[in-house]
Structure 1
Amino acid sequence: MSTDRAGTPNRQGGTYVRHLSLVDYRSYTAVAVDLDPGPNVFVGPNGQGKTNLVEAIGYVSTLGSHRVATDAPLVRAGATRAVIRAAVVRDARELVVELEIVPGKANRARLNRSPVSRPRDVLGALRTVLFAPEDLALVRGDPSERRRFVDDLLVARSPRFAAVRADYDRVLKQRNALLRTAASARRASRGTSGGDLRTLEVWDGHLATHGAELLAGRLEVLGALEPYVAKAYDAVSAGKGRTRLAYRSSTHGDAVSDTPEPVAERPEFNVDVPTLTQHILSALAEARSQEIERGITLVGPHRDDVVLWLGELPAKGYASHGEGWSYALALRLGSYELLSADGGEPVLILDDVFAELDSQRRERLAALVGDASQVLVTAAVAEDVPPALQGARFEVAAGEVTRV
């Protein structure tokens, strides 16, 4: 947890969710829960709605779910919309965030009962770090899992990057549509024509502009995150292993490294936005014929990866099951420490993770997070939760949440 220079836990700037209410969210017709600072433990059999509660809090923070890619599953079957309301206390001031999720339509948001123009305007009101069993995919899964992890952390630190990411995704979609049309025209004419590509250079410029800004943000956040991940892994694994983060770029080789050297010590991770823009434009020009043939954008931040090194080997494919869990946990704990160091301790969410950890890792995790401003824990069995995290306790069953 964040400490002052003397090593004493420091909760200044800590944030907690004081109240959560849900309407037609997942399994809940309606539910309201008052929460405490410090540990809050939700206990109940699987399938009773524990994860739905913490997922909703995570949604307030990120405008996305850690379990599904779209909003439709978040709305209770038979309902047309879902509503999440959260009262967030930060620096002794309370802010009420309300989100209305409407599948197939634009979602709506309010801050302190006043509408905002876009839901992403609420980003920054609540910051969370959520660790769940799905996080093993950060180590073992596809590059998209690691890209999302880095981008979510980037937005948590600087909410303006939500717009950068949205702009990049919009341009990428338009450029891919143009390339698909060209590829189809080329196949129809048996290779004699590539279709109308007069606007492709314009889209190249937009993709490079937004992509360079996103790439620069990713590199900066990885450089800041790496020492916190190394420290967290050392603590969780009891000193058994050394972590390094590397960024594998699809747009250039020399400017972004893929070697197990610390990010912060590599000057290529300080490449500026104009230089990155030129790298992307050059890569797009080089890949032009391939892209037209295949009808898809082959270079850009959407094709990049973060390589997680453990010792001298990449964790993916070489880390054991226990090492993979320790690495995934270190990524989340490192994120927590980084956000805390930025100012304003986030809410820490541990969703059904203690059942996946051995007893030693459970105790180490509890020792690391026990002094957090707020920790939300879900567990099927209360005994799985270490005593250090046995704070406010709630039983969850049959759509009801009862404080005990």
Structure 2
Amino acid sequence: MHVTHLSLADFRSYARIEVPLDPGVTAFVGPNGQGKTNLVEAVGYLATLGSHRVSSDAPLVRQGADRAVVRAVVRQGERQQLLELELNPGRANRARINRSSQVRPRDVLGIVRTVLFAPEDLALVKGDPGERRRFLDELVTARSPRMAGVRSDYDRVLRQRNTLLKTAATARRHGGGSGGGALATLDVWDQHLAGAGAELLAHRTSLVAALGPLADKAYERLAPGGGPVVLEYRSPVEGGTREELYEGLLAALSRARRQEIERGVTLVGPHRDDLVLRLGELPAKGYASHGESWSCALALRLASYDLLRGEGNEPVLVLDDVFAELDAGRRERLAELVAHGEQVLVTAAVEEDVPELLAGARYAVGDGEVTRL
């Protein structure tokens, strides 16, 4: 699978831009701040309905415009599809496939798959658990696009449940009794939370089991002799089947209820779990060096790439300003690992940052223009 054409309207810094793309390696080269990352960010948005740089759509719309449009032509084998996403901050986004009637944006998920590595990915090792949960959930959705709906359901139930708990906590603090009115339906919301949560947990744990050996292998290839890398999904809820996870979540919610009512927030569920990365016997967070942390983050992304590729639909690999952050050895080893991908998009400030192994199309990016060299 690869993108053959990218078209942007009022997206980030671009009022209008058309970029034809080839299979193989394509590098976008230009000074920082000229819009290189905006191009690959748009490709990533088609795959995840989100940005790796910001948490909302508003910054993606060019200043002075009220919406942005991302279009792409995607080819998989002999099949070609035109995707269009219209970003409307504060309102519902819109989507079309092959100029058909409007579809839900999440219906686009799975047509484009990407694995994107960027400087922000250092947070996968050094950052908060939320960074690692987001990594898992985006990969879960890439493997099974219907999980976007499950994640949406879980988030909706979680917000409702938190509202009930907050109301009860406020009533208790202000002498309004136990907040029983607000809590009357809490058992029902527990069941909804456990239902969506168990499905999400099942997919996450299955993913971590599949990803672990691939991450260890990728780390060994990036930093020979430096491992092993071990991935551990940390959750208070255990179980092998979805039914066991459902019952485990219900039991954990029951145990935590008194504390949740006191604090006014849901304390148990996938939104509180973590992915622990170990390098040898020690957790990578807090113990790994800067270079080791970079290699761990890269290993996670390369493992994701190998996993998706092994499942049949090779993703677009995006390396956003990565090589400038790596020493010469890691730079060359990474280039060797990705050089033969079906489509690899690279951004770099200077041509010298792109390893010679990654020969292919080159675009100069500057002054709002994208020019093929």
Q: How does 1:184-333 map to 2 (within 5 A)?
A: 184-189=170-175, 192-196=177-181, 197-249=183-235, 251-252=236-237, 255=238, 271-333=240-302
Give the aligned partner of residue 340 of structure 2: 371
1:117-155 deviation digits (Å, cap 9, x = unpaired) = 310001011000000000000000000000000000000
Alignment of 1:349 onto 2:318: yes
Give the one of 81, 85, 88 matched to 1:99: 85
Q: 2:157 & 2:179 partners in 1: Cα distance?
A: 20
Other structure's SS at 1:389 match: coil
Give the aligned partner of residue 5 of structure 2: 19
Q: 2:336 & 2:277 partners in 1: Cα distance?
A: 25
Other structure's SS at 2:63 match: coil
Give the paired residue count: 372
Whether contact under 8 Å (1:186, 1:195) holds in the other structure is no
TM-score, length-scaled by structure 2: 0.98
| One-letter identity of the residue aligned with 2:144 | S
Whether contact under 8 Å (1:212, 1:277) holds in the other structure is yes
Other structure's SS at 2:195 match: helix
Q: 2:315 & 2:233 partners in 1: Cα distance?
A: 26
Alpha-carbon distance, 1:235 to partner: 0.3
Superposed CA RMSD in Å reads 0.9
Q: 1:118 & 1:18 partners in 2: Cα distance?
A: 23
Give the one of 10, 32, 37 matched to 2:18: 32
Alpha-carbon distance, 1:226 to partner: 1.1
Identity %: 66
| One-letter identity of the residue aligned with 1:177 | T
Most deviating of 357-366 and 89-98 = 89-98
Give the one of 125, 130, 135 matched to 1:144: 130
Give the aligned partner of residue 151 of structure 2: 165
Q: How does 1:74-89 map to 2 (within 5 A)?
A: 74-89=60-75
Give the one of 298, 307, 331 matched to 1:362: 331
Alpha-carbon distance, 1:188 to partner: 1.0
Q: 2:84 & 2:187 partners in 1: Cα distance?
A: 41
Whether contact under 8 Å (2:133, 2:275) holds in the other structure is yes
Other structure's SS at 1:361 match: helix
- The unaligned stretches of length 5 or more in structure 1 are 1-14, 256-267
Alpha-carbon distance, 1:194 to partner: 2.5
Whether contact under 8 Å (1:242, 1:311) holds in the other structure is yes
| One-letter identity of the residue aligned with 2:201 | L
Most deviating of 63-72 and 222-231 = 222-231
Give the aligned partner of residue 164 of structure 2: 178
Q: 1:240 & 1:117 partners in 2: Cα distance?
A: 47
Alpha-carbon distance, 1:360 to partner: 0.6
Alignment of 1:134 onto 2:103: no
Whether contact under 8 Å (1:24, 1:76) holds in the other structure is yes
Whether contact under 8 Å (1:291, 1:297) holds in the other structure is yes
Q: 1:227 & 1:341 partners in 2: Cα distance?
A: 13
Alignment of 1:339 onto 2:343: no
1:245-271 deviation digits (Å, cap 9, x = unpaired) = 10111x33xx3xxxxxxxxxxxx6xx1
| One-letter identity of the residue aligned with 1:283 | A
Alpha-carbon distance, 1:371 to partner: 0.4
| One-letter identity of the residue aligned with 2:271 | H
TM-score, length-scaled by structure 1: 0.91
Q: 1:101 & 1:124 partners in 2: Cα distance?
A: 19
Whether contact under 8 Å (1:130, 1:332) holds in the other structure is yes
